[in-house]
Amino acid sequence: MSKPITLYSHATGPNPWKVAMVLEELNVPYDTKFMDFADLKKDPYEQLCVNGRVPAIEDPNTGINIWESGAIVEYLAETYDTKHELSFEKGPEKYQVKQWLHFQMSGQGPYYGQCAWFNKFHPERLAAPTERYDEQVKRVLYVLNKALTGKKYLVGEKCTIADISFVPWNEMLGFILGDKLASWDVEKNYPAYHAWHQSLLARPAVKKTWEAKQKVASGGGQ
C-alpha cells in the first residue's frame, strides 16, 4: 500500500480539483489540505510552490513534490497508472494526451479564469474585456466540439487525464456566466462537447470529487 499523497487544494478554485479527480480515478490514497489564498504567497507554502498557487502535491512514496496541475496529473499517470487506464504507454496517443492537456492548461484555464474575473469578480462591469473573454470561451467550446465530433474522447477510445483535466472548468461555466449561459445553448451549438462533458461527469470518481467540492465550497466541512 502506498502512503497518502498530500494535495494542497482550495475550496472553490477549480484547478486543484482536477488533481483530486485523477487521484480518485486511479485509486491513489491522498489527504487534502485546504489552503487560504492568504497563506499561499508566503512560507512555508512558497517553499513548496514558488508560484504561490494551488494545487501542489507532496508524494512521500517517491519524495517528489510538484506544482502546476498539468505537471501533477502527468506525474500521477506516469507513476501510478501502471495499467494505462487513463493514459497511453506509447504510440502517437501518448503525445496527443500531452497536447490536449497543454490545450487545457494554456487555452482553457487562463481564459475561463479571465472570463470569471470580468463576469463575476471585478467590481465594475467592463463591456469590452467581458465580451473578449466570453468570445474566447466560445472559441474553446468550438474547438473541443469540433475535435470531439464523431468521437467519445479526445484521444483514442478511452478517457484519459486529458479529458478529466477539462471537467472542473467546464463545470464552472454555469457559475461564471449565470443566466447568460442559457442563451449560448451549449447543447444545441456544441453537441459533441455537451455529450462528452456529460459522460465525464457521470464517471463515479469524477462525480464523487465534484460532490465533495460542492460540499466544501458551501462550508459543509471537509
Partner 1 sequence: MAAQPDIHLYTTQTPNGIKISITLEELGLPYKVTKIEFSKNAQKEPWFLGINPNGRIPALTDTFTDGKTINLFESGSIQQYLVDRYDKDYKISYPRGTREFYDVNSWLFFLNSGVGPMQGQANHFGRYAPEHIEYGVKRYTNETRRLYGVLNTHLEKSTSGYLVGDRCTIADIAHWGWVAAAGWAGVDIEDFPALKAWEEMMLKRPGVEKGRQVPDPHTMRELSKDSDAAKKAAEETKKWVQEGMAADTKK
Ligand X SMILES: N[C@@H](CCC(=O)N[C@@H](CS)C(=O)NCC(=O)O)C(=O)O
Which residue from 20, 26, 55, 93 is in contact with ligand X, where contact means CB under 6 A? 55
Contact between 71 and partner 1 (CB under 8 A)?
yes
**Cβ 104 to ligand X, closest distance in Å?**
9
| Residue selected from 6, 68, 130, 184 as contacting ligand X according to rule CB under 6 A | 68
- Is residue 69 near ligand X by the rule CB under 6 A? yes
Q: Which of residues 137-166 bind partner 1 (CB under 8 A)?
A: 138-139, 142-143, 146-147
- Is 92 near ligand X (CB under 6 A)? no
* Interactions with ligand X, residue window 35-54 (CB under 6 A): 37, 40, 53-54
Is position 23 an interface residue for ligand X (rule: CB under 6 A)?
Answer: no
d(CA 12, CA 93): 32
- The answer to whether residue 153 forms part of the interface with ligand X (CB under 6 A) is no
Q: Find the part of the chain contacting ligand X (CB under 6 A) among 12-20, 86-94, 150-158, 190-198.
A: 12-20
The Cα 92–Cα 100 span in angstroms is 13
- Residue 64 contacts partner 1 per CB under 8 A: yes
Contact segment (CB under 8 A) with partner 1 among 5-13, 108-116, 163-171, 191-199 equals 108-116
CB 177 within 8 A of CB 141: no
- The closest of 43, 40, 65, 63 to 53, measured between CA atoms, is 40
Q: Which residues bind partner 1 (CB under 8 A)?
A: 50-52, 63-64, 66-71, 74-75, 78, 91-92, 95-96, 98-103, 105-107, 109-111, 114, 122, 126, 128-129, 132, 135, 138-139, 142-143, 146-147
Q: Which residues bind ligand X (CB under 6 A)?
A: 10, 13-15, 37, 40, 53-55, 68-69, 105, 109-110, 113, 117
